[in-house]
Structure 1
Amino acid sequence: MSALVALLLLWGLTLGPAAEGAVFFKTQPSLWADSKSLLEPWADMTLTCQARLETLDFQLFKDGVVQKLVHLDIPDMEYQFPLGAVTNDNRGLYRCRSGLSSGTWTELSNLLEVTGTETQHPAPSTETLPPPLLSVEPVSWIIPGLNVTLLCHGGLRGVSFLLRREGDDEFLEVAETRKEGVASFPVHQAGNYSCSYQTHAAGGPSEPSATVTIEEVAVLPPPVLTSWGQYPKILGPGNRVGLICVAPLGGAEFGLWRLEGSVHKELQVPMSSTSPDRVFFDLDTEALGDGGPFICRYRLRGKDTVWSEDSEPTELVRSDESLPAPVLTAEPAGPRIAPGSLVELRCAAPGGGKRFALQREDPGGRRLLAVRRPGRPHAVFQLRDVSAADSANYSCVYVDLAPPFAGSAPSAPVELRVDGPPPQPQLRALWTRPVRAGRDAFLRCEGRVPDVVFELLRGAEAEPVVTLSAARDSQSADLALTFVGPQHTGNYSCRYRAQWPADFVSEPSDPVELLVAGS
């Protein structure tokens, strides 16, 4: 028997919205493989774990189980774990992590696969390398002036990478790996791309990666515009007024406009940034006007390009509380409301020409829920299919549409109480077959309530195995079981909870079974 070895690097890079004003330092280490000879890469191999900071401690995992723990005498940036000749005993899925000064560990590194296929005699041995992973930076579309790069992750240093475009037999680009076993290819044309690699010139290429589609767009996709803070609120005279515009890529120029009927008025306001993909707009009284609506756009910095599509409009409400309070009523009248009901909240003020805003009184402050410009002396706000998540005190304000844009004091609160748990969530497995030991298992928990904390439960255990706060205004979350092993086999359910506007927890979802293959 002889062992045929293949290496596959699965490099998971996920970008999500960062906390406002925060700067994060990446601590995830890198893991790659070195071979004594690329003519026979499986004969003598070494895995290198490279940390982001000097450390005394390194740990190597295989198929979700700790293999080696190393404590050094002198801090170092990397450690090499020798594998030697690859056999059935040491082939598998590897990850590593490094120690932090606080005595804790970093997150796990990228996933490196070392596989072996037994060759049956008298059949000859053939070299069939599994596919690498192809990813794209910064976005999966091109427009004149934007540089897009495809990254082919192979995991083994010293190999050559090949990039192909579907339907174009003449298109072939070749690149050598960087230190971590990754090759980069600049992309200038739309198409469906895949990559492969080969260990030496006489060897055959690996299986191709999954296809990555690059589209050509005529206009840059829209950014996202939100108000400052964890959630929108009605602003007082002393509050700082601002908006955040987030683009799908970094290094862009940003602009802000206020909609005045069918006219877009560009605003020249102070801007600041803590990240290359976003900007903070400071609004003074003149720029704020009657509160919007506002939209933002971006364009490529230093390029002769047009502005992007408009963001979804956002309104701001500021009230100096100089006007009499409006009257807020509910239909049906409460405070006890049956789950699933439609509740209409009517905010009435003297005279016309008003802008109305509904707010909910949460423990952390009043949250702005909706804004109306009805053109009459009252506005109606609807709460559909109410549940325990809607249990709260509600109030409203109104603001003049003419300068100086005076605003009212809040109305007397209206209490709504909905008995019983909120709607049951749904849990879906984001895989189609048993998950191989050493890979990640993702489960999507979908609720009908935004801004909650999702929890993943195993069997009848009371304590969650994964906890994740939903993104702003999101009603779902992807919960990850990383680097699964035999210990993860079982049934899982999810629930969600919140402490505002009411303290509630949902019933668990129906269970989903996780089977771990190869464990």
Structure 2
Amino acid sequence: MEIIVAETYYPKPSIFLSPRGKVTLGGAVTIRCQGQHQNMMFLLYKDGNPNALQNMEPAGDVAEFPIHNVSRRDAGSYSCYYHSKLYQYTWSYPSDPVELVVAGSEFLKPTIWVSPSRVVALGGNVTIRCEGRQRSMEFFLRKAGHPNQQVRMLPNGTVAEFPITSVGQEDGGSYTCDYHSIADKSRWSYLSDPVEIIVGEPSYPKPNIYLLSPSGGVFLRGAVTIWCRGQHRGVRFVLNKERHHFPPVDSDGFEAVFPSNNVRREYGGSYSCSYHSRSEPFAVSYPSDPVELVVRDPSLPRPSISLSPTGVTAQGADVTIRCQGQRQDMRFFLNKAGDLNLQRLMDPAGDGDEFHIPTVGRQHGGNYSCSYQLQSEPFVSSQPSDTVELVVGGGSESPAPLGLTSLIIAVVSAAAASLFLLFLLMAFVCFRKTRARKGAAPRPSSTIPLQVLKAPAQQDPVYASINKGKETQTLSQKPDPGTDGLTYTELDRQVLQAKQGGPAPEPTQPSVYAAINVSRGAPQ
């Protein structure tokens, strides 16, 4: 065997299939290799075979390698080289590989996706999944430019898993998968669509993801938009979902939208998004937090809802809300108007479920409805039931805050004190005005006591009238009808002053004081 050491000089050629795409058994395909120089010798290689399959000396810069009556053995990855006819040791770089897929029409192409995201940080873990339509199949994972394929045999399942741990730069690239029958290896599927894994440094913060949908929910054959927003401009956004592969979206701004105008049942599920730079070396983000899309199916019967007890419910009582459906495999959700969070009920044993509120408070009042999701399709929901209103009554209004109560008490106390002082002031003014009308008279000296004269039994007491130079006269003891049991006496101030040895004052009007009859009862 001769070993040839070549000086790499020419740029690599390009390679492609004609017609492009999949090739059926017994069909024909042509592999074309195009260089950048004239009068070159072109050679075609297949991965796994060290020998050149064909060589060609075209007049121009394109060589064609036809394959007639394609068989399974022709499937694989091809590349090509070229060198100068004059200088055989001056070669080009090898072309990028092209995959020739030979598929029969027996099985539909599988679905391929990457979990949790096909945008992966260095050292992370991902799993490539390939789902077929048949059981008892053998699955093959193929990476573009890589001669070795991974194989998974699934006697009973339909989803093959290909985990990649501690992802490195070499794990990035384009992947496809296909499968064939274990019993008859000549029966193959079509090749899946490609999925690309982007590996890079986690230099970008994770994005935010939002679900933009009508207020009534997302219905089958309706519209929905998923919006992903990052923190860098000019990046490429990727939408992630189990069992789905979405084409990436390039954005010159901070966000990207993923619209859908014909929602199907399989669109329901959990979504996340990532973004990365558009060129190598890649800078990537971690996946966003997930958001769930639940698709409403109008063909599912609406559930019914009831409240026990009915009517106005007293605070502290127990309430039961019951949801009823028409199937056995349902999971119920309770919704309160104005509350965006669905309350999931327990999985029922039959066709209904109950939600208990052990101690009702005013915060539980409102309108309630319920819906259900099928356990076999957890992201497909019925339309909501009619609403039922929970009215909570009884009890007093909520007490005012402590600070407000103290303020009210202080204001009321101050107002009451002000009114009382005003009343006293008015009473004092009225008293002064009354005395002024009657004429002011000085009080008798404290050294001259005013004595109460005891009257005989069954008689009213009287006061004495004292007057200088006059005899003491006893006034009639018969009370005036208008005095209500009072007897009056006159005191002569001049006589009192003379008794004390002082000068006689100017004549004044005598002062009249009332005598209260204490021996009698209250006036009749």
TM-score, normalised via structure 1 length: 0.30
Identify the structure with the greater strand proportion: 1
Identify the structure with the greater helix proportion: 2
Tell me: higher relative CO, structure 1 or 2? Use CA pairs within 8 A at least 6 residues apart: 1
